[in-house]
Chains A and B, each alone.
Chain A
Amino acid sequence: MNALVELRGISKHFGEGETRVDALRDVTLSVRAGEVVGLLGPSGSGKSTLLNVIGCIVEPNEGWMRLDGEVVYDGQWQRRDLRRLRLEKIGFIFQFHNLLPFLDSIDNVALVLHLAGYPKVEAQRHAVDLLEYLQVGHRKLAMPAQLSGGEAQRVAIARALANRPRIILADEPTAALDSERAAIVMDLLRKLAVEQQAAIIAVTHDEKIIGHLDRIFRLRDGRLADDGDSARA
């Protein structure tokens, strides 16, 4: 199966000289379609930097990266419009859902489709379909403040999936949820990965969801401590 996310020799440092901090050192990994992988490691190990690099938010200093078949970094960005790249290829799920507080559930999801150029009616219809698929269709008109933590995270997942990205990056997706809801969300992500043939990369500290991951990449001082083939813990 082809890898949707491939990184080779990715390094990233911040600052120079005595203040230089090596956040990532020679990171090589690949994630295939249908996989849910976890990035684990202590604080400051480089998890968030790696997620930002894969999300094309932070530019690496060296290495090579291919996303969904397109080489996006080879010593430098290969595309000028990284915003468009993110819109087309990557969905983001946040720790605190980051729904826009002034939009209801439908419009939070439909916004991504508007940005992608969908007509309004089609965007709204697709957003409703997604919310129903994620079993929060009954809360489609609710504002984020009116949603429970689990409902808000599902709406956020719907938003991440709206434009059918093949790569989904999740930053502590279960940190704000109790064990039961965390398990439900992880089962959902697994289901999505399989059904939509997406690669899901989740940064987490949450040991209780490790059982839901296909593979785990452990980071320590910016290096991968294993090659991610340790499979389920």
Chain B
Amino acid sequence: MNLAFREIRHKLGRFALTCLGLTLLLGVVVTMAGMYRGLMADALALPKSIRADLWVVQADTNGPFAESSRIPGNTREMIARVDGVVAAGSVTLQPVEIDRDGQGLKLEVVGFEPGRPGGPANLIAGRSITRSHYELIADRKTGLALGDRLELGRDVYTVVGLTQGSITAAADPVVYVTLRDAQDLQFDLTPPEARRAAARGAQRTDTDIVNAVVARVSPNVPVEAVAADVHRWKHLSVLSEDEQEAILASVVIKHARHQLGLFMGVLAVSSAVILALIIYTLTMDKLREIATLKLIGMPDRSIISMIVQQALLIGLIGFVTGAALVSAAKDRFPRRVVVEAADLGMVFGVVVVVCLLASVVAVRVAVRVDPARALAG
């Protein structure tokens, strides 16, 4: 005879409400873990989508994502000639905000050389850029469709391809244009400024500047060896794919990550306290029944088992429904929420430990109940 389940069945409404409360609480914990993962995934999405073995940037910088980096456009030819490099391409990155249907749309414009590394590797519709100018590949998150036209700077671009998952650490969608168009966008003056400059007789300065050169290395050559060769140029720094990802994780999203981690910790402790209070209250409500059970001969271990089973059941139901709720709703969040099995396993482990710890106070009370209490009027 399982007394834990019998009591739950008897007080089903109250039990269901308790589980609902815990469901929401644990749902928030799972969401926090998912947001943490989402933040990481967003931050790494762009470098991963470019699929470069090496990032060559301005000396002594962590560019191009963490710091500003500017290097001459002819760096690409130098890198392409390094032994072991099979392909190299220049890239520029520039955040812009445009007006789209009356609403501000923040974009990251990536300039790349079609046919060379630096372009999108995750095309899901349309084609790559084939013309020298005014073609654009957009991430689906922009809301743009194939054939749409978009004004960037002084020019109008046509969407010829769509990607999925190309976003920045700030979750802004990425659009890809040719390097030349990106440089024009980056360095051209706005029309009124250009008119004023022309009236003053100013010459257009050299715009062959890029933010980074990305290189793919032959599988037969160690990436470290190629990086060491590039390091000989004192005006350049070189980052491997892993280093680039480490910089993004440690520098770009460091504070947000710590804040989320802190919230997760606070929530976990809050959940533990609330669960402990719930279990304690449930136990205090049945002290007379516990005294009666002890008086008629029920061993302490059966009473402890009853309390612990109820605690674990509340925790289990709260966790399962909370995780299911978040899994079902994760795509509706404004930022990416990535629910990973490993995180769910960790939260589940924490819930089990918290349930057991939460039972301790209630169990101590139950064990100390005097059977004579059952006889008291």
- A: residues with CB less than 8 A from B are 48, 51-52, 55, 57-58, 83-84, 86-87, 92, 94-96, 98, 100-103, 107, 110-112, 114-116, 120, 143, 159, 171-172, 175
| With A110-B1, A111-B1 as contacts: A57 and B299 at CB distance below 8 Å | no
Structural contact, A92 and B11, CB atoms closer than 8 A: no
* Majority secondary structure of chain B interface residues (helix, strand, loop or mixed): helix
Structural contact, B6 and A87, CB atoms closer than 8 A: no
Q: How far is the CB of B283 from chain A (nearest CB, A)?
A: 14
Give the size category of B's interface with A. Answer: 20 to 34
Structural contact, B7 and A102, CB atoms closer than 8 A: yes
Determine, out of B154-162, B249-257, B290-298, the stretch whose residues face the partner at the interface: B290-298
Structural contact, A159 and B296, CB atoms closer than 8 A: yes
Q: Which partner residue on chain B sits nearest A101 by CB separation? A: B10
Complex Cα spacing A101 to B1, Å: 15
Complex Cα spacing A150 to B79, Å: 97
- Provide the B352-377 mask, 1 if CB < 8 A to any CB of A, else 0: 00000000000000000011101111
Structural contact, B292 and A57, CB atoms closer than 8 A: no
Structural contact, A92 and B374, CB atoms closer than 8 A: yes
Which of A48, A84, A92, A110 contacts B295 (CB under 8 A)?
A92
Q: Which of B6, B297, B377 has the most CB of A within 10 A?
A: B297
Q: Which partner residue on chain A sits nearest B7 by CB separation? A: A102
Interface contacts beyond A48-B372, A92-B375: sample of 11 additional A-B pairs, CB < 8 Å, sorted by A: A48-B375, A52-B372, A55-B295, A87-B297, A94-B374, A96-B377, A103-B6, A111-B296, A112-B296, A116-B297, A159-B296
Complex Cα spacing A113 to B11, Å: 25
| With A48-B375, A94-B374, A95-B377 as contacts: A107 and B296 at CB distance below 8 Å | no
| With A52-B375, A83-B297 as contacts: A101 and B370 at CB distance below 8 Å | no
Complex Cα spacing A98 to B376, Å: 11
Structural contact, B10 and A102, CB atoms closer than 8 A: yes
A172 partner residues in chain B, CB cutoff 8 A: 377
Complex Cα spacing A114 to B370, Å: 22
Q: Which partner residue on chain B sits nearest A110 by CB separation? A: B1
Structural contact, B375 and A51, CB atoms closer than 8 A: yes
